[in-house]
Chain A
Amino acid sequence: QSALTQPRSVSGSPGQSVTISCTGTSSDVGGYNYVSWYQQHPGKAPKLMIYDVSKRPSGVPNRFSGSKSGNTASLTISGLQAEDEADYYCCSYVGSYTWVFGGGTKLTVL
């Protein structure tokens, strides 16, 4: 159950796009289409932003999109806004009803 690998930090200016990667193995990210992404503001509970690799829950802006290629999943945020500044975590199903999170990425909006 090793954590998925995410960059520690990314940054972008308002209006720009940023992409956060999430690298695992064929036993987790690459083996299942069950990658989800969570946004967490300081002192707050996480919020689901993307599920099943690329699906958006109701209420999540379409500026947020997800994809996967091989053992790497990605979260792209387009048209960056100040309120997007937060920590982002990927999560993958690993089989046998177990899950693993990534280490988290701090997004800074410049």
Chain B
Amino acid sequence: EAQLVESGGGLVQPGGSLRLSCAASGFTLNRNWMHWVRQGPGKGLVWVSYINSDGSSTSYADSVKGRFTISRDNAKNTLYLQMNSLRAEDTAVYYCARGDGYSLYLWGQGTMVTVSS
């Protein structure tokens, strides 16, 4: 069964850094576009970032551009999100999702990131 499992969330101070991981199983990551999506407490879904199948193309929401970096290690079947200069407004559950065409077909269970002093 195909699944995604995120890890790496936690409590970090404003201005700090955190790296999220998303491990894929049951399918080969290198055939798919991948995304990160976040959801603040009691809020809606917000698309954060995209990466193509070989990692040569990436894109970001304006709110995280220049602070977050998406990457992938296809040999390890793992997706990453490096988050720097974190702000209180980055507090959210972060989901990774497998793209299928222009939709987000398979989602992980999410990992919580809390930015607070």
Contact = CB atoms under 8 A, between A and B. Distances in A.
A57 to B, nearest CB: 7
B57 A98 contact: no
16 contacts: A1-B62, A3-B46, A32-B102, A36-B104, A45-B95, A45-B107, A46-B37, A46-B95, A46-B104, A47-B107, A48-B100, A51-B100, A91-B104, A97-B50, A101-B47, A103-B44
B9 interface: no
Interface of A: 1, 3, 32, 34, 36, 38, 40, 45-48, 51-52, 57, 87, 89, 91, 93, 96-104
B90 to A, nearest CB: 16
Interface size grouping (class) on chain B: 20 to 34
Contacts, number: 71
A1 B61 contact: yes
A101 B45 contact: yes
Contacts of B37: 46, 101
B108 A36 contact: no
Contacts of B108: 45
Given A98-B59, A100-B47, A48 B104 contact: yes
Contacts of B101: 34, 51-52
A32 B45 CA distance: 20
